[in-house]
Amino acid sequence: ALRRMTNGLSTLAYGLYRDPSRTQVWGSLPGTRATGVGSGSNQRYNVYGRIHAGQTTVLGTYTDNVVVTVNY
């Protein structure tokens, strides 16, 4: 899923991925969701990000919100 971070009026496109090689997109569509079976123990899901190359923007701090929904 295409995501955007903002710094005032400037934006940077980025993606979130389920694997370190950044080939498995993490999103909200079927096939892009992280799934698991609860066991009563803590479970860890790593998230990897990548800012897309070739963007022209200004120097600064860029932010975005990522919402995670846990169904049980």
The DSSP annotation for the chain comes to: --EEEEETTEEEEEEEESSTTS-SB-SSSTTSS------SS------EEEEPSS----SS--B---------
HSE-up (13 A, CA, CB side) for residue 55: 14
The model carries a pTM of 0.78
**In the chain, domain spans:** 1-34+43-72
pLDDT tens per residue across span 7-59: 999 999 999 998 999 998 887 677 777 777 778 888 888 899 999 999 999 99
